[in-house]
Chain A
Amino acid sequence: MSDHGTPGRTDVVPVDQHDQHGDVELVGDPIADPGLHEHQPRPTDVDERAEKRAERQVAGLFGLSALFTILFVVSYFAFGVGDDTTVIAGYGASTVALGTCLGMALLLIGVAAIQWARKLMSDVEIVEMRHPAASSEEDRETALTSFRAGVDDSGIARRPLIRNAMLGSLGLLGLPLIVLLRDLGPLPGDKLAHTVWRKGMRVVNDIAGTPIRPEQVEIGQLINAEPSVFYEKNGEGEPKFEGVTLQQAKAKAAIIVVRMKPSDITPSKGRENWGVEGILCYSKICTHVGCPISLWEQQTHHLLCPCHQSTFDLADNGKVIFGPAGRALPQLPLAVDGEGYLVAQRDFDEPVGPSYWERG
């Protein structure tokens, strides 16, 4: 609105606007241009003493910052790292001193700069007018002319052989990008649908790797377990699973074993013989996004996922009773082998872990 506004001036003349928009007859001015406030100087602008005081404040803040920087260097040499770890509120003298000194040094520089700008730097109201974003006609004309001159000079229109060869070579550069995508593969195939569990494979305690007898498991017990194959060695004395292979296999085969009162369990049809005297085994991988779950309430028989609060009822075939999980927790059928240890009847009947496209 205020085309004629200049810094510190409020005398915008509405008559000019009437002239510019000659065809529109403005009756008065519906929303009057308030213009700029009358400029009021700060105390530091008019009071010599206030100005001096502000100057001392800013200099003092910078000086204090310098002092903290020096204290930082001093405390670096004065306090040993790790020797006195519980000196100041249990945090260690070195940690507290270094952090406080460096923090204050930086903060005080910032505070001084703000104080300087607010109290002492120039204090005038400024109006910045909007202007078109495009370059001037003249500049655009010059740019186009030189571009056309370049095109003519290269003779690209006259030499189709060169042009086509260039376009071909540039186009072919897209091929490496596509070829490199192959490294994202190969597709997993049906690997997601299977785990290392096999018929007769023993259920062992995670970390310790000890096999489990049903009579060792008490009602209300939770065992974080793994297949025994992770603790077995091959013919050369090396572990059968190692490194990334071990982690990948573990991520699918991890299980939890729980024991409940047999009278509390309501197996669905076909699952009547999947447990051993109230001992049931479920996948440890949440069917929502695959967090490992072992947060088990022994009295309610609920298994909770700490990530998104999906809750499974282990007494009722791993049914989802709360949360975002879409499928019941896969159950591993258990049996007892000739030596009396818990073993798997077979692999899981369904893929463990979160859903994926091909699963359907």
Chain B
Amino acid sequence: MPSALEISGLKKIYKGGFQALKGIDLTVKQGDFFALLGPNGAGKSTTIGIITSLVNKSAGKISVFGHDIDQELESAKSFIGLVPQEFNFNQFEPLMKILVNQAGYYGVERSIALQRAEKYLKQLDLWDKRNDAARMLSGGMKRRLMIARALMHEPKMLILDEPTAGVDIELRRSMWNFLRELNQQGITIILTTHYLEEAEMLCRNIAIIDSGIIVENTDMKSLLAKLDIETFVFDLKPNSAPQALAELSSRVIDDHTLEVDVKKSQTINSVFIELNKQGIEVLSMRNKSNRLEELFVSLVGSGQAKVDSAAKE
């Protein structure tokens, strides 16, 4: 069974000499929910642009469900549904027309396209707006319209470039559920996002790209297992006046807040034992930051260091 996406040696040098991609290799299995993460300007959108033929590559190979984009571009394109980062529909056209036209570009008959448009507009809570011009929609509605548009030809792989950017938390969660359902139906999903919580909750496999190179490509569990230390914030009873904990790396933030770094080899029980010794009562505790976020920061930092040292050599 071919991979949903196979990338090898992909390079992109823009006019002016900027090298956005420095030879990336990536494999996404069929049915996967895959995260492609990286800081701004890392090369995520360039990669997606090349896969969807919006950007010309400088070197490398890409195949989509076994179809090489250099040999069988149209076949490869027919498997992909794209939700781009920026709104790119005709702002003056009604939603129905946008969807039906898009389906037509993939060879979907008008009668079928109308049925599908109704199905996805209802599922994404846009049915009431079907005859409105797209410019009348709110930001969240426009994002959902782009998801509906990408699904009109029932693609086997959906690529979403920051689909929840600027979307409120309630809507973001309903979009997560929708994407999970699509993935359960067998659609391979590739997601880029700045919300690392989103990637951690949804994705099974992950690649982190930084300065045009892949600095990590593994499954989410293995990646999170690499996290040696987690930092917890303890909210204490007011005026507890905690002391730094013996045997543990900790910081007193104020008279009722304590930050503690807990290594994999240590248990949270040991923190409570130390706090008990001081007679301090804990009101609540939480992770200081998302676990993936901590890894992301360290990996992106090391990726930049690799690039810098390669440049010096």
Q: Do A and B bind each other?
A: no
